[in-house]
Structure 1
Amino acid sequence: MRRELSFSDALTVALAHNGELYLAQGDVAIAGDELALAGSVFAPRLVGNARVAREDQPGNAQSFAWKDQLASASLGITGLLPTGLTYALDLGASAERLSSPFLTVFSPAYTTGLTLSLTQPLLRGGWRSINRQPIYVAALRRDVTVQQLQVRLAELVGEVEVAYWSLVLAYREREAREASLKLAQDQLAESTRLVRLGTISDLDVLEARAGVGRTQQQLIRAQQQVADAEGGLRIVIVGNPDWGPDDSLVAIDNPDLTPVSYSVEEHLQLAHRNRPDLVAAHVELEAESAALAVTEDGLLPALDLVATASKLGFAGDLERNYVTSGVSVFDNSLSPSYVVNPDLNGGLGDSFKNLTTSGNYTVSLGLKLDLPLDNSAARARHDRQRHVRARAQTAKQ
């Protein structure tokens, strides 16, 4: 079957069926996902937990037997800021029923709390530049894959151009050889006629017959060039699944020769600026240099400033037992007697109310040091990245 192809048709088929181009497009998509993953570390998370527990203890050396029922739940938001600050804001509540005449004060007892925890790295992983560096690296590596895709596109377009116009040239060459053969055959016929008339010698006929033979050989070579060029184009564009092995590809476009308006030097400078492989090498070096800063940060010890602040609320039912025997509600025999805050009497709702109105709180501030005695893993990662960067530097040159 004769299949006529314009250059646009050939390029479309090649783009649709090139496996390397498909893989390069997949690399771009994967790099985009890696960039989204790198940026997701700053996304806040909603966390929650719920727990129920029951104990029935026989007692020990310091206390009598007791029973305890506990239910607790919490809901909070946690996340990471670009400065490296880790935050957690948690709202929790618990209900407890403790049955022990020498331990229980309130039963049931309802405890609520609002807690804010902050951890700011001062050395490793500290401050904005280093924490945004992985995003910067991922963005550069995505740009590298984009440039590599453009490299493959440019290579494929160039391969299609060479193969297509080679086929056009082979067809033109065959047409020229066919015309030459027709002319040589006409000359042979004319020479044969003239030798019969005695106008020319037999040597002229032999010379014309040799010319026909030479032209036939040239036509055979031209036909082979057409077959080779057609096979080359088929290899480049692959073709549609419904194309048969005996189908012939016919290039129907004519070359459009546009006059060159720039000097050779200007074209070389333009190509050097716009070549995607050079751009990709430059961007890859920049990405690996940024990744080197990340591994260098990993060599530092971890010194974190840790701060915690909690607001507390409580309510419950005061138990009458041995522990509370001296409380004024039940007994005034102690002097002075202990007076319970009346706001503490109530249920879970009262506990949440006391959370907002009472002045009960806890605060803490401290430092946390993590200094590996053997930092070989971090140093190995840093050394590896230095070698990767050196390789990128060599590729750029």
Structure 2
Amino acid sequence: MFLSGTAAAEALRLSIPPEQTSNPIPGNMPLSLEDAVAMALENNRGLRAERLRPAIQGTFEAQEQARFDPVAFADLEVTRDRSVRQFQEIQVQETFRSERERAEAGLRQTLPTGTELTLSLRSDRAESSRTSEQFTGRAGLSLTQALLRGGRIASNLVRLRQAGLDVTASEYELRGFIETLVADVESAYWEVVLAAEEIAILEDALRVSERQLEETRGRIRAGDRPETEAIGARAEVALRRQGLIDARSALARSQDRLSRLIRTPGSDWDRGLNATSPAAPGTYELEPVAVYVALGRDYRSDLNETRLRLQRDDLEIVQTRNGMLPQLDFFLTLGGSGFADSFGASVRADEGDGYDLSAGLRFELPLGNRAAEAGFSRARLTRAQTREVLHNLEQLAIQDIRGAWFDADQSRAQVQAREETLALQEELLRVAEIRFRVGAGTGLEVAQAQRDLLESQLSLLAAKIRYRQARTDLLRQSGTLLLHRGIETPGQEPVPF
């Protein structure tokens, strides 16, 4: 179905699940992932601009439809003549004058069948110094039918159908933009989650380091440990504070990036956004890579858009093949006339009537017809080129999908491996603390175990976030991200090929 004008604009309204529809979130308030996506779909200026593209394309389709609209026309012509004739023999001068007025109105329409119809009503008034006023009325019908070039409905509707395909292609382009925007929002959101949870882990590690430092100082005062052990404990506290500074800076940057994506210009970007969704996904399962490849062939916006461009090229071949035919038109004109001394009487033909009929054929063919043949060859070559582009895009899409699947699978495996590593590091820290308390170990060993545990915690957190981002990218590469998020947009139906 082709959309134009208002219909195309109505189709641009995005369907967002109720749970993703929310009011603007004030700064420093909890923000879920669904809220962030909904705000981006409502506020992002780039998306607002992209939404206008199908509506703009719809105006071109409306222009093509207007070629077959009826056209009203009217002509009015007034002529005044005056001439003087001199007769030398008899020394007489004669002045001759004449007046003619012509008015015509009617309707003209071109049909997709290659037919041009004209229905007109004409009135002529003539008066001169030698004749009295005379009116002539005529009603006529003219028909011109293309028999060869321009005589097929399919070729005459090519431009209209191409304009409709352009509208549909722009909808797929819009869908691709929305999918990229949603993926960017989700990636930025998880960066905020990562930075916030890193801060929480580092703050807890700082408290543990400070408690360890106080315990070490107590043992030093009791003479149980040498004073040099306090240096290592103080170094650990300094490292945790240094890590906190970096983590808070990373949080500010990630919040700013997320704000740019979801807030309207002019809002207070300095006020932070606190992400609330948990970092750990509910499941770490992936479908086989072949499933995502098959989905990508059907749902990727760039592939569907290119398939529409190929259909457009097929229509161009129909158009240019029609242009190679000779011009052969049949024309027919039929009219009825009435004569009288007034306009009304001339319509009734009070003083006489008449009929006219003419028909014939009109033929035209450029010698060599090189322009039409060149256009046809160009259309065929363009279609072949688009077909090759489509095959290349399919190969690149499969490569991107497989690469995204490998990344997601690697992240999934890393989460499982790092969960095991974290459990072992916790056990090592427990052993080091026991050894320290009974005097068999040193504070440096405890600090090292705490550092290793902290790195494992941060590494596991990063792996969980990377898995979420990798899975989002996998869904985007397969063209199904919006389907999984329950967001309905134009251009979500696969284009047959």
Shift of 1:147: 0.6
2:162 paired with 1:132: no
Which residue number in structure 2 is paired with residue 99 of structure 1? Answer: 129
Task: Work out whether residues 13 and 239 of structure 1, in 8 Å CA contact, stay in contact via their aligned partners in 2.
Answer: no
**1:38 counterpart residue number:** 64
Q: Which has the higher helix share?
A: 2
TM-score for both structures, normalised by structure 2: 0.65
**What's the counterpart of residue 360 of structure 2?**
366
Contact 2:122 2:137 in 1 (8 A): yes
The structural deviation recorded for 1:42 is 1.1
User: Paired residues, what number?
Assistant: 358
Q: Pick from 247, 258, 263: which aligns with 2:271? A: 247
* Alignment deviations for residues 277-317 of structure 1 (CA, whole Å, 9 cap, x no partner): 2211111211122123223322333211111111121224x
1:47 matches 2:73: yes
CA distance in 2 between counterparts of 1:358 and 1:8 reads 83
Deviates more, 1:386-395 or 1:143-152: 386-395
Structure 1 equivalent of residue 309 of structure 2:
284
Matched, 1:23 2:53: no
| Alignment match, 2:171 | 146
Pair 1:112–1:297, CA change in 2 (3 A): same
Closer/same/farther in 2, CA of residues 18 and 179 from structure 1, 3 Å limit: same
1:294 to 319, 337, 340: 319
The alignment partner of 2:366 has SS state of coil
Paired amino acid for 1:197? A
Give the AA of the match of 1:241.
G
Letter in 1 for 2:324: L
Amino acid at match of 1:236: L
Partner Cα separation in structure 2 for residue 305 and residue 108 of structure 1 = 38
Does the 8 Å CA contact 2:339/2:353 hold for their aligned counterparts? no
> Is the 1:13–1:240 Cα contact (8 Å) retained in structure 2?
no
Q: Choose 274-283 or 80-89, whichever is displaced more.
A: 274-283
Uncovered stretches (5+) of structure 2, i.e. residues with no partner: 1-25, 87-93, 392-497
Aligned equivalent of 2:335: 310
Post-superposition offset of 1:169: 1.1
| Helix, strand or coil at the partner of 2:245 | helix
- Counterpart Cα distance in 1 of 2:299 and 2:340: 73
Pick from 196, 220, 228 the counterpart of residue 253 of structure 2. Answer: 228
Q: Secondary structure at the match of 1:395?
A: helix
User: Could you report, residue by residue, the CA deviation over 1:132-177 in whole angstroms, capped at 9, with x for unpaired residues?
Assistant: 1211111111100111011111111111110111111111111111
In structure 2, what is the Cα distance between the partners aligned to 1:376 and 1:78? 33
Partner of 2:195: 170
CA contact (8 A) 1:24 1:145 kept: no
Tell me which moved more, 378-387 or 302-311: 378-387
Change over 3 Å in CA distance of 1:59–1:279 after alignment to 2: farther
Tell me the equivalent position of 2:107. 77
Aligned pair partner of 1:182 in 193, 207, 214: 207
Structure 1, unpaired ranges of 5+: 317-346
Contact map agreement 1:98 1:108 (CA 8 A) in 2? yes
Q: Which residue of 2 aligns with 1:393?
A: 387
Look up the SS of the partner of 1:269 in the other structure.
Answer: helix
Give the alignment's TM-score, normalised by structure 1. Answer: 0.80
What letter matches 1:248 in structure 2? G
Are 2:225 and 1:197 equivalent residues in the alignment?
Answer: no
For 2:190 and 2:120, the matched residues in 1 are separated by 70
CA, structure 1 residues 59+380, in 2 after alignment: closer, same or farther (shift >3 Å)?
A: farther
2:36 is equivalent to residue 10 of structure 1: yes
Cα root mean square deviation, aligned: 3.0
Structure 1 Cα separation of the partners of residues 99 and 189 of structure 2: 83
Relative to structure 1, is the Cα distance of residues 295 and 206 closer, same or farther in structure 2, using a 3 angstrom cutoff?
same
**3-state SS of paired residue (1:97):** strand
Deviations 1:307-365 (A, max 9, x none): 1111121224xxxxxxxxxxxxxxxxxxxxxxxxxxxxxx332221129x977311111
1: CA distance, partners of 2:169 / 2:85: 68
Asked if structure 2 preserves the Cα contact closer than 8 Å seen for 1:44 and 1:80, the reply is yes
Q: Is the 8 A contact 1:84 1:127 kept in 2?
A: yes
Match of 2:180 in 1: 155
Q: Pick the structure with greater CA Rg.
A: 1
1:267, CA displacement in angstroms? 3.3
| SS of equivalent to 2:325 | coil
Distance 1:256 1:96, change over 3 A: farther
Could you tell me how far apart the structure 2 residues matched to 1:13 and 1:255 are?
Answer: 21
| C-alpha deviation, 1:75, in angstroms | 1.7
1:319 alignment partner in structure 2: none
Question: Which range is displaced more, 213-222 or 87-96?
Answer: 213-222
Partner of 1:89: 119
Structure 2 counterpart SS, 1:248 = coil
> Which of residues 319, 322, 345 is equivalent to 1:350?
345
